[in-house]
Amino acid sequence: MIEKLKLKGHIIDSLILSKLLDKLADLGVDCYTSDVKVGTKREDVSEATFVIETEDKELLKEAIEYAKKQGAMEI
Amino acid sequence: MTEKILMCAPDFYGIKYEINPWMKIEIQSDYEKARKQWKALYNILKNDLKVDVQLVPPREEVPDMVFTANAAVMYGNKAIIAKFKYPQRQPEEEYYADWFRENGYEVITLPDGMAFEGAGDALYLNGILYSGYVPRTDIAAHTYISELLKIPVISVELVNDNFYHIDTCFCPLEDDYLIYYPKAFDEYGNKIIETNVPEEKRIIVNDEEASYFTCNAVNVGKNIVTNITTKRFSDLLASKGFTHIQTDMSEYMKAGGASKCLTLKI
């Protein structure tokens, strides 16, 4: 099972992307970023698209819930 | 320039519901004592520190309106009005919006369904808006505000239920000093603070001081107004060149608030 999500915001300066990837790794799901756009100015937001993959339905649900708490949106 | 602060008299303040771990309906506030404590803070700000204190009229059905910190986050003449998480406080939004409109501010509202609790969860430090999320404010609101105002917004997750707004555990001061309580943040939040705020500018409160809401401070120039707290903290502030003014906020602690929660810099 695969879920594609997108994060948008000050996800680099706020360490949101790092936190999310760390947590997903701790949960034991596969996760890879497919597209990262880093803002060029201090006030610019960044975006990251990433995919979560696991055969465990409950684990996928938990991973998505955590990602959403950190601001991720399903796409 | 004279500081301008918005307050709301506690005419209808009381513990009428429970929406944070501090609130217990059976531990009611004392009406007269609460009035005296609010007036003491008002007098310190208006008379001692020469702040221009503005007042928004209190409303009977919203006892927490006394906590004006949550009304909005300010950006120049713009007031980005709160979208309260809990229905008990949502009627405040329109009252605050009306006051800002009537007083010449540009009122901005966030999309429905995007929780955001004003300057209770968004504080400026060195040109960055530090914003708390999870307990009361959605992180999506941070991105929305950043794109709206074209300012950097750093999101820090609040992980301790007792410190449910960022202004209960994080207080930027004059000259980019910061009072904060590390245990209210996760390792990522602490890393952000340690990276962005030089060690000599960090004023760390201990468990006892955090429990008195010492971080919930009002900063006017080099003066810091807090609830009654420890001598250690006063000495720490003095060593950084600040004058510490303590005033009893015990009646407001019953609702999970103290001096900063009763004020909004406008």
Residue ranges in chain A whose pLDDT is less than 50: none
For the segment B63-86, the average pLDDT, to the nearest whole number, is 98
Is the minimum CB–CB distance between B228 and chain A shorter than 8 Å? Answer: no
Q: What is the pTM of this model?
A: 0.97
Residues of chain B contacting A42 with CB distance shorter than 8 Å: 152
Q: Which residue is listed with tokens 């790092």?
A: A18
Host H or E run for residue A58: helix A57-69
Alpha-carbon distance B177 to nearest alpha carbon in chain A (angstroms): 20
State residue B230's pLDDT score: 98
For the segment B91-112, the average pLDDT, to the nearest whole number, is 98
Q: Is residue B1 predicted with pLDDT exceeding 90?
A: no
Q: Is residue B68 predicted with pLDDT exceeding 90?
A: yes
Residues of chain B contacting A14 with CB distance shorter than 8 Å: 154-156, 188, 192
In this complex, the residue of A8, A19, A42 whose CB is nearest that of residue B143 is A8
For the segment B83-106, the average pLDDT, to the nearest whole number, is 98
State the residue range of the domain holding B42.
Answer: 4-265
CA angle B168, B172, B175 (to 5 degrees): 160
In this complex, the residue of A10, A19, A69 whose CB is nearest that of residue B146 is A10
Active-site residue identified among B8, B142, B165, B171: B165
Domain count, chain B: 1
Domain ranges of chain A: 2-74
Does B169 qualify as catalytic in the annotation? no
Distances in Å between the alpha carbon of B122 and those of B12, B104, B130? 26, 22, 6
What fold does the segment set A2-74 form as a domain? Alpha-Beta Plaits (3.30.70)
Per the CB < 8 A criterion, the answer to whether B82 and B90 are in contact is: no
**Residues in B 96-155 with any Cβ partner in A closer than 8 A:** 133-134, 138-140, 142-143, 146-147, 150-155
- What is the ipTM score, two decimals? 0.95
Q: Where are the alpha helices (DSSP H) in chain B?
A: 31-43, 92-102, 139-149, 187-196, 207-211, 231-239, 250-253
Residues of chain A contacting B138 with CB distance shorter than 8 Å: 71
Question: Which pLDDT band holds residue B188 (cuts at 50, 70, 90)?
Answer: very high
Q: Where are the alpha helices (DSSP H) in B68-170?
A: 92-102, 139-149
A15, B147: Cβ pair inside 8 Å?
A: no
pLDDT digits (tens, 9 = 90+) for B7-63: 999 999 999 999 999 999 999 999 999 999 999 999 999 999 999 999 999 999 999
**Residues in B 171-200 with any Cβ partner in A closer than 8 A:** 186, 188, 191-192
CATH number for B52: 3.75.10.10
State residue A34's pLDDT score: 86
Residues of chain B contacting A18 with CB distance shorter than 8 Å: 188
Q: Which of A6, A14, A41, A73 is best to mutate for the B interface (most B CBs within 10 A)?
A: A14
B143, A43: Cβ pair inside 8 Å?
A: no
Query: For residues B131 and B165, what is the distance between their CA atoms, to the nearest angstrom?
Result: 9
Q: Which of A5, A11, A12, A15 is best to mutate for the B interface (most B CBs within 10 A)?
A: A15
Is the minimum CB–CB distance between B23 and chain A shorter than 8 Å? Answer: no
For B195: left if phi > 0, alpha if psi spans -120 to 50, otherwise beta; the answer is alpha
Q: Where are the beta strands (DSSP E) in chain B?
A: 4-7, 52-55, 72-75, 78-81, 106-109, 122-125, 128-133, 153-157, 170-172, 178-180, 202-204, 218-220, 223-226, 243-246, 264-265
Does B165 qualify as catalytic in the annotation? yes
Query: For residues B119 and B12, what is the distance between their CA atoms, to the nearest angstrom?
Result: 22
pLDDT digits (tens, 9 = 90+) for B221-259: 999 999 999 999 999 999 999 999 999 999 999 999 999
For the segment B137-142, the average pLDDT, to the nearest whole number, is 98
